[in-house]
Chains A and B, each alone.
Chain A
Amino acid sequence: MKLGLAYYLVVLVLSTNLIGVEAFAHEVQQKIVERREVHIPLGDFTLVDQNSREFQFSKLAGRVVVVAFAYTTCPDVCPLITAALRQVQSGLTKEERKRVFFLTITTDPEIDSPKILAGYAKRYGADLATWSFLTGDPAVLQKVWKNFGVGVKRKARGLVDHTPLTAVVDRQGRLRFAYVGPAPDVKAVLQDVRSFLVQ
Protein backbone atom coordinates (compact mmCIF):
# COMPACT_ATOMS: atom_id res chain seq x y z
CA MET A 1 0.00 0.00 0.00
CA LYS A 2 2.85 2.34 0.97
CA LEU A 3 4.65 1.36 -2.21
CA GLY A 4 1.52 2.13 -4.20
CA LEU A 5 1.25 5.57 -2.61
CA ALA A 6 4.96 6.26 -3.20
CA TYR A 7 4.61 5.20 -6.84
CA TYR A 8 1.60 7.49 -7.19
CA LEU A 9 3.53 10.42 -5.71
CA VAL A 10 6.56 9.81 -7.95
CA VAL A 11 4.34 9.67 -11.03
CA LEU A 12 2.53 12.81 -9.87
CA VAL A 13 5.78 14.73 -9.37
CA LEU A 14 7.26 13.55 -12.67
CA SER A 15 4.14 14.39 -14.58
CA THR A 16 3.74 17.86 -13.09
CA ASN A 17 5.52 20.37 -15.25
CA LEU A 18 6.64 23.92 -14.59
CA ILE A 19 3.26 25.60 -14.55
CA GLY A 20 1.36 22.55 -13.49
CA VAL A 21 -0.41 22.06 -16.77
CA GLU A 22 -1.54 18.58 -17.61
CA ALA A 23 -4.20 19.47 -20.12
CA PHE A 24 -3.01 17.81 -23.31
CA ALA A 25 -4.80 18.99 -26.40
CA HIS A 26 -6.89 16.39 -28.19
CA GLU A 27 -7.34 14.37 -25.03
CA VAL A 28 -8.99 17.11 -23.02
CA GLN A 29 -11.46 19.02 -25.14
CA GLN A 30 -11.99 21.88 -22.74
CA LYS A 31 -13.79 24.92 -24.02
CA ILE A 32 -12.84 27.23 -21.17
CA VAL A 33 -9.43 28.82 -21.32
CA GLU A 34 -7.72 29.02 -17.99
CA ARG A 35 -5.69 32.18 -17.35
CA ARG A 36 -2.94 31.94 -14.79
CA GLU A 37 -0.68 34.66 -13.45
CA VAL A 38 2.84 33.31 -13.02
CA HIS A 39 6.38 34.61 -12.58
CA ILE A 40 8.84 32.30 -14.26
CA PRO A 41 12.22 33.43 -15.64
CA LEU A 42 12.81 31.89 -19.06
CA GLY A 43 16.15 30.66 -20.33
CA ASP A 44 17.51 31.71 -23.71
CA PHE A 45 17.19 29.44 -26.74
CA THR A 46 17.97 29.47 -30.42
CA LEU A 47 15.61 27.99 -32.97
CA VAL A 48 15.00 28.37 -36.71
CA ASP A 49 12.31 30.62 -38.17
CA GLN A 50 10.04 30.24 -41.21
CA ASN A 51 12.78 31.69 -43.42
CA SER A 52 15.31 29.11 -42.20
CA ARG A 53 17.15 31.82 -40.26
CA GLU A 54 18.46 31.37 -36.72
CA PHE A 55 16.24 32.99 -34.15
CA GLN A 56 17.55 33.85 -30.68
CA PHE A 57 14.94 34.43 -28.00
CA SER A 58 17.13 36.80 -25.93
CA LYS A 59 17.18 39.29 -28.82
CA LEU A 60 13.56 40.07 -27.95
CA ALA A 61 14.59 41.54 -24.55
CA GLY A 62 12.78 44.82 -23.98
CA ARG A 63 9.71 43.69 -25.92
CA VAL A 64 6.59 41.98 -24.67
CA VAL A 65 6.39 38.56 -26.31
CA VAL A 66 3.26 36.49 -26.92
CA VAL A 67 4.23 32.86 -27.34
CA ALA A 68 1.97 30.07 -28.57
CA PHE A 69 2.65 26.38 -28.96
CA ALA A 70 1.05 24.78 -31.98
CA TYR A 71 1.70 22.55 -34.98
CA THR A 72 0.54 23.01 -38.52
CA THR A 73 -1.49 19.80 -38.94
CA CYS A 74 -3.20 20.15 -35.58
CA PRO A 75 -6.88 19.41 -36.17
CA ASP A 76 -8.48 21.17 -33.23
CA VAL A 77 -6.99 23.64 -30.74
CA CYS A 78 -4.12 25.13 -32.76
CA PRO A 79 -6.24 26.73 -35.51
CA LEU A 80 -8.14 28.55 -32.78
CA ILE A 81 -4.99 29.61 -30.94
CA THR A 82 -3.29 30.89 -34.11
CA ALA A 83 -6.44 32.73 -35.22
CA ALA A 84 -6.67 34.34 -31.77
CA LEU A 85 -3.03 35.45 -31.96
CA ARG A 86 -3.70 36.95 -35.37
CA GLN A 87 -6.54 38.96 -33.83
CA VAL A 88 -4.30 40.11 -30.98
CA GLN A 89 -1.68 41.22 -33.50
CA SER A 90 -4.31 43.12 -35.51
CA GLY A 91 -5.70 44.66 -32.31
CA LEU A 92 -2.43 46.43 -31.49
CA THR A 93 -1.80 49.98 -32.60
CA LYS A 94 1.08 50.77 -34.93
CA GLU A 95 3.12 52.10 -31.99
CA GLU A 96 2.34 49.10 -29.81
CA ARG A 97 3.39 46.68 -32.56
CA LYS A 98 6.94 48.02 -32.39
CA ARG A 99 7.16 46.83 -28.77
CA VAL A 100 5.39 43.50 -29.02
CA PHE A 101 6.53 40.31 -30.75
CA PHE A 102 4.69 37.05 -31.46
CA LEU A 103 6.15 33.56 -31.55
CA THR A 104 4.54 30.33 -32.60
CA ILE A 105 6.73 27.43 -31.56
CA THR A 106 6.01 24.09 -33.17
CA THR A 107 5.29 20.98 -31.17
CA ASP A 108 5.90 18.79 -34.24
CA PRO A 109 9.38 19.35 -35.71
CA GLU A 110 9.08 16.10 -37.65
CA ILE A 111 6.59 17.74 -40.04
CA ASP A 112 6.99 21.47 -39.42
CA SER A 113 9.94 22.52 -41.53
CA PRO A 114 10.56 26.25 -42.10
CA LYS A 115 8.85 25.95 -45.49
CA ILE A 116 5.74 24.33 -43.98
CA LEU A 117 5.65 26.99 -41.27
CA ALA A 118 5.93 29.75 -43.88
CA GLY A 119 2.86 28.37 -45.67
CA TYR A 120 0.99 28.13 -42.38
CA ALA A 121 1.85 31.75 -41.49
CA LYS A 122 0.66 32.91 -44.90
CA ARG A 123 -2.68 31.10 -44.61
CA TYR A 124 -3.36 32.91 -41.33
CA GLY A 125 -2.26 36.29 -42.68
CA ALA A 126 0.35 36.75 -39.94
CA ASP A 127 2.37 39.97 -40.15
CA LEU A 128 5.85 38.47 -40.17
CA ALA A 129 7.48 41.78 -39.28
CA THR A 130 6.53 41.03 -35.67
CA TRP A 131 5.70 37.33 -35.72
CA SER A 132 8.02 34.38 -36.18
CA PHE A 133 7.14 30.71 -36.55
CA LEU A 134 9.84 28.55 -35.04
CA THR A 135 11.06 25.02 -35.42
CA GLY A 136 14.42 23.41 -34.82
CA ASP A 137 16.33 20.50 -33.50
CA PRO A 138 14.01 18.20 -31.49
CA ALA A 139 16.45 18.15 -28.56
CA VAL A 140 16.48 21.96 -28.40
CA LEU A 141 12.72 22.13 -28.77
CA GLN A 142 12.26 19.67 -25.93
CA LYS A 143 14.17 22.03 -23.65
CA VAL A 144 12.05 24.96 -24.82
CA TRP A 145 8.81 23.04 -24.24
CA LYS A 146 10.02 22.09 -20.77
CA ASN A 147 11.05 25.68 -20.09
CA PHE A 148 7.51 26.83 -20.79
CA GLY A 149 5.89 23.83 -19.12
CA VAL A 150 4.47 22.38 -22.29
CA GLY A 151 3.90 18.63 -22.46
CA VAL A 152 4.24 17.08 -25.91
CA LYS A 153 3.38 13.52 -26.91
CA ARG A 154 3.58 12.21 -30.48
CA LYS A 155 0.62 10.00 -31.38
CA ALA A 156 1.26 9.41 -35.08
CA ARG A 157 2.91 11.11 -38.01
CA GLY A 158 1.52 14.67 -37.99
CA LEU A 159 -0.60 14.04 -34.91
CA VAL A 160 0.60 15.32 -31.54
CA ASP A 161 -0.93 15.82 -28.12
CA HIS A 162 0.36 18.95 -26.46
CA THR A 163 -0.48 21.45 -23.78
CA PRO A 164 -2.45 24.19 -25.57
CA LEU A 165 -0.44 27.03 -24.06
CA THR A 166 -0.40 30.67 -25.04
CA ALA A 167 1.89 32.78 -22.86
CA VAL A 168 2.67 36.44 -22.34
CA VAL A 169 6.30 37.15 -21.55
CA ASP A 170 7.22 40.52 -20.01
CA ARG A 171 9.97 42.82 -21.21
CA GLN A 172 12.45 41.22 -18.80
CA GLY A 173 11.93 37.77 -20.32
CA ARG A 174 9.71 36.38 -17.58
CA LEU A 175 6.65 34.27 -18.29
CA ARG A 176 3.83 36.23 -16.62
CA PHE A 177 0.51 35.04 -18.00
CA ALA A 178 -0.32 31.52 -19.12
CA TYR A 179 -3.55 30.79 -20.99
CA VAL A 180 -4.27 27.12 -21.25
CA GLY A 181 -7.01 26.08 -23.63
CA PRO A 182 -8.18 26.19 -27.21
CA ALA A 183 -8.42 29.93 -27.81
CA PRO A 184 -7.31 32.64 -25.41
CA ASP A 185 -9.65 35.58 -25.04
CA VAL A 186 -8.30 38.25 -27.39
CA LYS A 187 -9.35 41.15 -25.17
CA ALA A 188 -7.74 39.58 -22.10
CA VAL A 189 -4.46 38.99 -23.93
CA LEU A 190 -4.44 42.54 -25.28
CA GLN A 191 -5.07 43.88 -21.79
CA ASP A 192 -2.27 41.76 -20.30
CA VAL A 193 0.15 42.75 -23.07
CA ARG A 194 -0.67 46.45 -22.58
CA SER A 195 -0.16 46.16 -18.82
CA PHE A 196 3.53 45.50 -19.53
CA LEU A 197 3.83 48.22 -22.16
CA VAL A 198 2.94 50.95 -19.67
CA GLN A 199 5.45 49.77 -17.07
Chain B
Amino acid sequence: MTTFRLILALLALIPFAGCGRNERMDLIYSQRCASCHGSGGRGDGQIAASLQTPPPDFRETVQRKSNSQIRKVIAEGKGSMPAFDPALRPSEVNDMLQMVRFLSREGRDLAWWEKYDTLIAAHCSIPWEAALGLDDAPEKKP
Protein backbone atom coordinates (compact mmCIF):
# COMPACT_ATOMS: atom_id res chain seq x y z
CA MET B 1 0.00 0.00 0.00
CA THR B 2 2.85 2.33 0.89
CA THR B 3 4.54 1.55 -2.41
CA PHE B 4 1.31 2.24 -4.27
CA ARG B 5 1.01 5.62 -2.55
CA LEU B 6 4.61 6.39 -3.37
CA ILE B 7 4.03 5.60 -7.04
CA LEU B 8 1.00 7.88 -7.05
CA ALA B 9 3.06 10.63 -5.42
CA LEU B 10 5.77 10.28 -8.03
CA LEU B 11 3.21 10.32 -10.82
CA ALA B 12 1.80 13.52 -9.37
CA LEU B 13 5.20 15.11 -9.79
CA ILE B 14 5.32 14.39 -13.53
CA PRO B 15 3.59 17.58 -14.70
CA PHE B 16 6.20 19.59 -12.84
CA ALA B 17 9.10 17.47 -14.06
CA GLY B 18 9.86 17.05 -10.37
CA CYS B 19 13.39 15.85 -10.68
CA GLY B 20 15.05 18.51 -8.61
CA ARG B 21 17.96 20.02 -10.41
CA ASN B 22 19.49 19.26 -13.79
CA GLU B 23 22.07 20.82 -16.11
CA ARG B 24 19.51 22.72 -18.19
CA MET B 25 18.11 24.35 -15.06
CA ASP B 26 21.59 25.22 -13.85
CA LEU B 27 22.46 26.83 -17.19
CA ILE B 28 19.30 28.94 -17.42
CA TYR B 29 19.54 29.92 -13.77
CA SER B 30 23.20 30.91 -14.01
CA GLN B 31 22.64 32.91 -17.21
CA ARG B 32 19.44 34.73 -16.25
CA CYS B 33 18.88 34.67 -12.50
CA ALA B 34 22.12 34.30 -10.55
CA SER B 35 23.39 37.86 -11.09
CA CYS B 36 20.58 39.11 -8.84
CA HIS B 37 19.38 36.09 -6.84
CA GLY B 38 22.83 34.60 -6.26
CA SER B 39 23.98 31.12 -7.19
CA GLY B 40 22.31 29.68 -4.07
CA GLY B 41 19.15 31.78 -4.31
CA ARG B 42 19.96 33.76 -1.21
CA GLY B 43 19.49 37.18 -2.80
CA ASP B 44 23.20 37.89 -2.84
CA GLY B 45 24.00 38.02 -6.56
CA GLN B 46 26.67 40.19 -8.10
CA ILE B 47 24.39 43.19 -8.68
CA ALA B 48 21.94 42.56 -5.82
CA ALA B 49 23.37 45.32 -3.65
CA SER B 50 22.90 47.85 -6.46
CA LEU B 51 19.20 47.11 -6.92
CA GLN B 52 16.65 49.41 -5.29
CA THR B 53 14.68 46.44 -3.98
CA PRO B 54 17.00 43.61 -2.89
CA PRO B 55 16.08 40.16 -4.23
CA PRO B 56 14.62 37.81 -1.62
CA ASP B 57 16.32 34.84 -0.02
CA PHE B 58 14.31 31.96 -1.51
CA ARG B 59 14.52 30.06 1.78
CA GLU B 60 12.54 32.83 3.46
CA THR B 61 9.87 33.49 0.84
CA VAL B 62 9.31 30.59 -1.53
CA GLN B 63 7.73 28.22 1.00
CA ARG B 64 4.77 30.61 1.29
CA LYS B 65 4.20 30.91 -2.47
CA SER B 66 2.13 28.68 -4.70
CA ASN B 67 3.50 27.37 -7.99
CA SER B 68 1.22 29.67 -9.95
CA GLN B 69 2.41 32.69 -7.97
CA ILE B 70 6.07 31.84 -8.62
CA ARG B 71 5.40 31.07 -12.29
CA LYS B 72 3.61 34.42 -12.66
CA VAL B 73 6.57 36.36 -11.28
CA ILE B 74 9.00 34.51 -13.56
CA ALA B 75 6.80 35.03 -16.62
CA GLU B 76 5.56 38.57 -15.97
CA GLY B 77 8.39 40.08 -13.93
CA LYS B 78 8.16 42.20 -10.82
CA GLY B 79 9.84 45.56 -10.22
CA SER B 80 13.26 45.40 -11.80
CA MET B 81 13.00 41.64 -12.33
CA PRO B 82 12.58 40.91 -16.05
CA ALA B 83 9.44 39.31 -17.48
CA PHE B 84 10.77 36.10 -18.99
CA ASP B 85 7.72 35.33 -21.11
CA PRO B 86 8.22 34.91 -24.09
CA ALA B 87 12.03 34.79 -23.88
CA LEU B 88 11.80 31.56 -21.90
CA ARG B 89 9.55 28.82 -23.21
CA PRO B 90 6.85 27.46 -20.87
CA SER B 91 8.93 24.36 -20.07
CA GLU B 92 11.89 26.61 -19.20
CA VAL B 93 9.70 28.73 -16.93
CA ASN B 94 8.70 25.47 -15.23
CA ASP B 95 12.38 24.57 -14.94
CA MET B 96 13.01 27.84 -13.13
CA LEU B 97 10.01 27.22 -10.89
CA GLN B 98 11.57 23.88 -9.91
CA MET B 99 14.96 25.53 -9.45
CA VAL B 100 13.48 28.12 -7.12
CA ARG B 101 11.76 25.37 -5.14
CA PHE B 102 14.99 23.39 -5.03
CA LEU B 103 17.05 26.35 -3.82
CA SER B 104 14.43 27.20 -1.21
CA ARG B 105 15.10 23.79 0.36
CA GLU B 106 18.90 24.12 0.34
CA GLY B 107 20.36 23.78 3.77
CA ARG B 108 17.17 22.22 5.09
CA ASP B 109 16.71 18.68 6.31
CA LEU B 110 16.78 16.47 3.24
CA ALA B 111 16.45 13.19 5.14
CA TRP B 112 12.94 12.56 3.84
CA TRP B 113 14.06 12.89 0.23
CA GLU B 114 17.19 10.83 0.75
CA LYS B 115 15.13 7.84 1.83
CA TYR B 116 13.68 7.67 -1.68
CA ASP B 117 16.82 8.48 -3.63
CA THR B 118 16.76 5.30 -5.71
CA LEU B 119 13.13 5.70 -6.72
CA ILE B 120 13.55 9.38 -7.47
CA ALA B 121 16.62 8.63 -9.60
CA ALA B 122 14.64 6.00 -11.52
CA HIS B 123 11.73 8.41 -12.00
CA CYS B 124 14.05 11.14 -13.22
CA SER B 125 15.77 8.87 -15.72
CA ILE B 126 12.51 8.63 -17.67
CA PRO B 127 12.17 11.38 -20.30
CA TRP B 128 8.70 12.34 -19.08
CA GLU B 129 8.35 15.47 -21.21
CA ALA B 130 9.05 13.57 -24.39
CA ALA B 131 6.85 10.65 -23.31
CA LEU B 132 3.94 12.95 -22.55
CA GLY B 133 4.48 15.08 -25.65
CA LEU B 134 5.31 18.19 -23.59
CA ASP B 135 8.74 18.76 -25.08
CA ASP B 136 9.34 22.07 -26.84
CA ALA B 137 9.76 22.34 -30.56
CA PRO B 138 13.37 23.12 -31.56
CA GLU B 139 14.16 26.82 -31.46
CA LYS B 140 13.95 28.54 -34.82
CA LYS B 141 16.83 30.79 -35.71
CA PRO B 142 15.74 34.36 -36.54
Contacts and interface: CB of A to CB of B under 8 A. Distances in A.
B84 A73 contact: yes
A152 interface: no
A158 B80 CA distance: 16
B127 interface: no
A75 B87 contact: no
Contacts of A110: 142
B68 interface: no
Interface string A99-137: 000000000001100001001100110000000000000
Nearest to B27: A156
Given A76-B46, A111-B86, A157-B139, A119 B32 contact: no
A80 interface: yes
Interface residues of A, number: 26
Nearest to B139: A157
B80 A73 contact: no
Given A75-B32, A76-B47, A158 B87 contact: yes
B52 to A, nearest CB: 6
A21 interface: no
A149 interface: no
A80 B79 CA distance: 12
A55 B17 CA distance: 45
Contact of B83 (A72, A83, A154): A72
Contacts of A72: 82-83
Interface of A: 29, 72-77, 79-80, 82-83, 110-111, 116, 119-120, 123-124, 138, 154, 156-159, 182-183
